[in-house]
Copies of this chain bind each other. A is one copy, B any other.
Amino acid sequence: MPQLRKDPVIGRWIIISKQRRKRPTDFPVEKFEGAGGFCPLCPGNESFTPHEVLSIPDDLAPNDGAGWRVRVVPNKYPALVIEGDLAKEGIGLYDQMNGIGAHEVIVETPDHNENFADFSVENMAKVFIAYRERILDLENDPRFKYVMVFKNHGRAAGASLEHSHSQLIALPILPQMIVSELTGAKSHYDYKERCVFCDIIRQEIDNKERVVCQNDSFITITPFAPRTPFEMWILPKQHSSQYSAMDDTAYLKLAEIFRESLQRLCTCIKDVPYNFVLHTAPLHSKGLDYYHWHFEIVPKLTSIAGFEWGSGFYINPLPPEEAASYLRDCLVK
């Protein structure tokens, strides 16, 4: 019997359709076509990107030619631009404003061929620290309300460059997903006086079947109502609404669990394309009791994408309990 499941935060229903059940090997993966050639993100080519806004040195090679481990540069083809004012305007029924914002690229490694999931914990933590540094810096700009951090890994997930990188977009508005989450989480808090995500974590730890892995600070689960097979959420166990409020040690703990989760995913589905998106409280909102930052990792398995993304309605052939079981049982080096 298929199941209908409701996301407890935003109220989105999804179908778990066992009739369409699939095993990990049933998902074909579109390979990155042999790129080769010039890469603007490689060391030595720094002059081909706009001037960097942040550089984190490589501990092992601080005096080496380039010497950076993580480098953040403005996107050469930005979706939004930094100069100008918002010029909010109503046109009859419609609202628009200038596309003011920042669009930056986080170059995650100097090594063109290094896969994000294979980074050392220390090196992955540097990427997460770079996110924090950029969020804190952009928060100084009163025009911005939100910084959306995301990664497209693999061609099918929208990556246009092979060299491992993520992106951030600073926005003068709140994206739909955050508005929905804030509204749903606030409504739960108003009724129960508890954070809905803290409730989720408690229930998942107690129940066990959707837990992928955990350490003392973080937990990775397959959510109760996932949009796609192998969707994973990584949440801090301690309540916290702001990603950028953590100290360096916490990002090491995050990297530990993030690395393990991705390694498990990549063991289940070789060369899996995926997106991850950081969900955190709006800028300038200090310590919300009802919101809880987290990462959502969504594998992009082309064979199942359909009309869903246009309608907000999802059919998922793999129950999250089975996905978690695959992820727990696969080998991790």
Q: Are A81 and B177 in contact (CB under 8 A)?
A: no
A3 at the binding interface (Cβ < 8 Å): yes
Q: Which of A1-15 contact B (CB under 8 A)?
A: 1-6, 8, 10-13, 15
Given contacts A3-B99, A157-B307, A173-B13, contact A19 B180 (CB under 8 A): no
Given contacts A4-B173, A93-B196, A95-B5, contact A79 B308 (CB under 8 A): no
Contacts of A152 in B (CB 8 A): 306-307
A105 at the binding interface (Cβ < 8 Å): no
Q: Which of A261-307 contact B (CB under 8 A)?
A: 275, 277, 296, 298, 305-307
Q: Which of A35-43, A47-55, A214-222, A311-319 contacts B (4 or more CB under 8 A)?
A: A311-319
Q: How many copies does the complex hold?
A: 2
A80 at the binding interface (Cβ < 8 Å): yes
Q: Are A13 and B310 in contact (CB under 8 A)?
A: no
Q: Are B203 and A93 in contact (CB under 8 A)?
A: yes
Q: Are A8 and B94 in contact (CB under 8 A)?
A: yes
Tell me which of B96, B196, B305 contacts A3 (CB under 8 A): B96
Contacts of A2 in B (CB 8 A): 78-81, 98-99
Contacts of A148 in B (CB 8 A): 311, 313
A211 at the binding interface (Cβ < 8 Å): no
Contacts of A298 in B (CB 8 A): 307, 310
A312 nearest in chain B by CB position: B176
Chain B proximity mask over A63-90: 1 for CB below 8 Å, otherwise 0: 0000000000000011111001000000
A236 at the binding interface (Cβ < 8 Å): no
Tell me which of B12, B97, B175 contacts A313 (CB under 8 A): B175
Interface positions of A (Cβ within 8 A of B): 1-6, 8, 10-13, 15-17, 19-20, 77-81, 84, 92-99, 148, 150-152, 157-158, 171-177, 179-180, 196, 199-200, 203, 207, 224-225, 227, 275, 277, 296, 298, 305-313, 315
Contacts beyond the supplied A10-B176, A298-B310: 6 A-B pairs with Cβ under 8 Å? A1-B84, A2-B80, A2-B99, A4-B98, A13-B175, A277-B311
Question: What are 28 contact pairs spanning A and B, CB under 8 A?
Answer: A3-B97, A4-B97, A4-B99, A4-B173, A6-B94, A6-B95, A6-B96, A6-B173, A8-B95, A13-B175, A13-B176, A15-B79, A15-B80, A17-B78, A17-B80, A19-B77, A19-B81, A93-B196, A93-B199, A94-B224, A175-B312, A176-B312, A177-B312, A227-B310, A277-B307, A277-B310, A308-B309, A309-B309
